[in-house]
C-alpha cells in the first residue's frame, strides 16, 4: 500500500444546523478572521513535517462558506510547511446553498481537485424532513456545475429514512446515477443523542428493512459500475477517496480546527469542541497503547472491502467469523463479505472481543 499522510481542516460554521447532525458545527455568526487564520497557521506549524502530505481535506461544518482569500492563506501555509505530493488530493465539502459556479472555479484555481456536495436527498419531501435549506432544483444544478468544473465529484445521500421503502430509495439512486459521478457516499440515517431527531424520537426502519436497503444498494451500485469499497462509500475504480482511506488504513493524519483529531504514531490529539478554547490553543493529548492502536486498525480496516492483515487476531475468531459468512480469508488477509458489513459491529466483537 502506498504511503499516506493526511491533513484535515475543520470549519465549524454552517448556514443552519440540520436536525440529524452531531458533528461539531454551529449556525454561522460573526467571527474574527485574523484570530482564526492565526490559529490555523499556528496549528499547521506544530505538525511534524517528516512525511509527505498525500491529501488535504476541508470539512465541517460547511467549509465552502470560507472566503476564498482565507482558504488561500491556509493552503499557502500548508505548502510552506509540508512536503506535498505532486499527486495530492485536495478536497472540499460544500452544500448546494453555500456555493456557486464562480466559487467552484476559484477553488479549482487554488488547486482543489475534488469536491463533495452535501445533497443528502434527491427527493423534495425528504429534503424538507432532513432540514436541508436547498431545493431539489438547486441540488441538481450544483451537481451539473460541479461536473463542469471538477473531474472528481462526489455527492452525499442519506437513506433508510422513516417509512422509506426500497422502491422509494431506488428511485433516488437511479436519479443520482444518471449524473454518472465517479463517487457516491451513501449513509443510512442514524439517530444520534443530543440531536433534534433524537429528542423527537424519530423512528427509522427496523434492522430487517435497513439490511434489505443496504444489500440492494450494493447490488444496484455494482451493476452501475460504481462498486462499494467502504461500508458507506462507492466509487468507480481509481476514484476512491484517498483522504478517508488514510483513516481506514490506520495511517497517520493531522487535524486542525475546533474538534479536529490527529493520529501521529501512538500520539492521539483532540482539539476542543469549543471555538474559544480552540483559539486559546487548548487540546487533549494522549498516548495510545499498542493494543488500542491495533483495535483502531481493526475497527477502521474492516469497514473496507480491501480488508486487513490477520496479525494479532486469533485463528479461532477468524474461523468463527468465516463460518458465519461474515469474512473470507485469502493468504494473510481477511475481507468482509456484504453480510459481514451488515453485521459490522458483531464482526468486530467476534474478531476483537
* 111: containing domain: 6-247
Chain Cα centroid distance, residue 263: 16
Between CA 134 and CA 339 the distance in angstroms is 35
- Report strand pairing: 284-287 vs 267-270: antiparallel
What is the CATH classification number for the domain harbouring 194? 3.20.20.70
Whether 257 maps to a domain, the answer reads no
Q: Are residues 214 and 332 in the same domain?
A: no
Q: In 30-83, at which residue ranges do the beta strands (DSSP E only) sit?
A: 53-60
When divided into structural domains, the chain yields a total of 2
Average pLDDT over residues 155-162: 98
Taking only the tens place, the pLDDT of each residue in 289-330 is 999 999 999 999 999 999 999 988 999 999 999 999 999 999
Torsion of CA 321, 336, 210, 228, to 10 degrees: -170
Q: Are residues 126 and 235 in the same domain?
A: yes
* pLDDT of res. 353: 73
Q: Are residues 339 and 191 in the same domain?
A: no
The residues with which 56 forms a beta bridge, in sequence order, are 7, 90
Q: Are residues 203 and 345 in the same domain?
A: no
Last residue of a domain, one of 229, 247, 265: 247
The residues with which 98 forms a beta bridge, in sequence order, are none
284, 243, 257, 253: which is closest to 10 by C-alpha?
257
Q: Are residues 240 and 326 in the same domain?
A: no
Whether 262 maps to a domain, the answer reads no
Q: Are residues 31 and 132 in the same domain?
A: yes
CB 57 within 8 A of CB 10: no
Which grid coordinates belong to 252?
Answer: 497517520
Taking only the tens place, the pLDDT of each residue in 159-209 is 999 999 999 999 999 999 999 999 999 999 999 999 999 999 999 999 999
Q: Are residues 117 and 212 in the same domain?
A: yes
Q: Flag whether pLDDT at 1 surpasses 60.
A: no
Last residue of a domain, one of 181, 214, 247: 247
CB 90 within 8 A of CB 114: yes
Last residue of a domain, one of 247, 262, 296: 247
Amino acid at each position: 500500500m502506498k504511503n499516506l499522510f493526511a491533513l484535515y481542516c475543520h470549519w465549524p460554521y454552517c448556514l443552519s444546523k440540520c436536525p440529524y447532525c452531531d458533528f461539531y458545527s454551529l449556525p454561522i455568526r460573526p467571527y474574527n478572521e485574523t484570530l482564526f487564520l492565526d490559529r490555523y497557521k499556528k496549528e499547521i506549524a506544530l505538525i511534524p513535517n517528516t512525511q509527505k502530505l498525500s491529501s488535504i481535506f476541508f470539512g465541517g461544518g460547511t467549509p465552502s462558506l470560507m472566503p476564498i482569500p482565507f482558504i488561500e492563506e491556509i493552503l499557502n501555509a500548508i505548502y510552506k510547511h509540508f512536503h506535498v505530493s505532486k499527486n495530492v488530493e485536495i478536497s472540499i465539502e460544500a452544500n448546494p446553498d453555500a456555493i456557486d459556479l464562480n466559487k467552484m472555479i476559484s477553488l479549482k484555481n487554488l488547486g482543489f481537485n475534488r469536491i463533495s456536495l452535501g445533497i443528502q436527498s434527491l427527493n423534495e419531501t425528504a429534503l424538507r424532513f432532513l432540514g436541508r435549506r436547498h431545493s431539489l432544483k438547486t441540488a441538481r444544478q450544483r451537481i451539473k456545475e460541479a461536473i463542469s468544473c471538477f473531474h472528481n465529484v462526489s455527492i452525499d445521500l442519506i437513506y433508510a429514512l422513516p417509512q422509506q421503502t426500497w422502491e422509494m430509495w431506488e428511485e433516488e439512486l437511479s436519479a443520482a446515477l444518471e449524473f454518472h459521478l465517479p463517487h457516491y457516499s451513501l449513509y443510512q440515517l442514524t439517530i444520534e443523542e443530543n440531536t433534534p431527531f433524537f429528542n423527537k424520537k424519530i423512528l427509522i426502519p427496523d434492522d430487517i428493512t435497513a439490511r434489505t436497503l443496504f444489500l440492494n444498494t450494493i447490488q444496484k451500485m455494482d451493476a452501475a459500475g460504481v462498486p462499494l469499497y467502504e461500508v458507506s462509500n462507492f466509487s468507480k475504480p481509481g476514484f476512491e477517496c484517498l483522504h478517508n482511506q488514510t483513516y481506514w488504513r490506520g495511517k497517520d493524519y493531522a487535524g486542525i480546527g475546533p474538534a479536529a483529531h490527529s493520529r501521529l504514531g501512538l500520539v492521539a490529539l483532540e482539539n476542543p469542541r469549543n471555538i474559544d478554547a480552540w483559539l486559546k490553543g487548548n487540546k487533549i493529548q494522549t498516548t495510545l497503547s499498542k493494543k488500542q492502536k491495533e483495535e483502531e486498525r481493526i475497527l477502521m480496516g474492516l469497514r473496507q472491502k480491501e480488508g486487513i492483515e490477520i496479525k494479532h487476531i486469533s485463528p479461532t475468531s477468524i474461523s468463527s467469523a468465516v463460518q458465519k459468512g461474515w469474512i473470507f480469508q485469502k493468504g494473510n488477509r481477511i475481507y468482509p463479505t456484504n453480510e459481514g458489513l451488515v453485521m459490522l459491529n458483531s464482526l468486530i466483537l467476534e474478531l476483537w472481543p
